[in-house]
């Protein structure tokens, strides 16, 4: 995949995350990295991290912390995402297909529901 595909994948995933910026806080908004966190900081001054997307050397990485906190979410993970899972709550992409784009949007939506239920949004 070319860098353009990485950039396009990054931008597409960022747009999916931007929907939740109204309920979260942007922790990083840079050309190759976008992270969201809880709107309120904890007593230690840190915010709970919701997730983010970043371009790395040859992949686009999506991180979603609600999956880390709720591993039961992995039971319904589609095969298209299981193949791209890296660790407990990260997924690597070199490009996106329409099916994969929909699966990512559904996973981000489910993660937001859990994050909100946990009281972080």
- Over the stretch 28-68, which tens digit does the pLDDT of each residue have? 999 999 999 998 888 888 888 999 999 999 999 999 999 99
At residue 3 the predicted structure's pLDDT band, cuts being 50, 70 and 90, is very low
Q: What is the pTM of this model?
A: 0.91
Measured distance CA(21)–CA(11) in Å, rounded: 15
Measured distance CA(49)–CA(34) in Å, rounded: 12
SS3 43: coil
CB 96 within 8 A of CB 9: yes
Which residue, among 80, 78, 64, has the nearest Cα to 114 in the 3D structure?
64
Predicted local confidence at residue 121, as pLDDT: 87
- Please state the rounded mean pLDDT for residues 96-113: 95
For the cut 80, the answer to whether the pLDDT of residue 4 exceeds it is: no
For the cut 60, the answer to whether the pLDDT of residue 1 exceeds it is: no
User: 60-79 in b/e burial notation, b at 16+ Cβ within 10 A?
Assistant: bbbbbbbbbbbeebeeebee
């Amino acid at each position: 995949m070319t860098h353009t595909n990485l950039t396009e994948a990054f931008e597409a995933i960022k747009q999916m995350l931007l929907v939740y910026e109204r309920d979260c806080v942007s922790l990083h908004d840079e050309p190759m990295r976008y992270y969201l966190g809880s709107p309120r900081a904890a007593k230690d001054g840190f915010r709970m991290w919701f997730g983010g997307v970043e371009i790395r050397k040859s992949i686009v990485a999506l991180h979603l912390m609600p999956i880390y906190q709720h591993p039961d979410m992995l039971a319904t993970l589609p095969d298209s995402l299981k193949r791209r899972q890296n660790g407990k709550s990260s997924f690597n992409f070199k490009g996106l297909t329409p099916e994969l784009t929909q699966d990512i949007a559904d996973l981000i939506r489910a993660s937001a529901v859990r994050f909100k239920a946990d009281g972080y949004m």
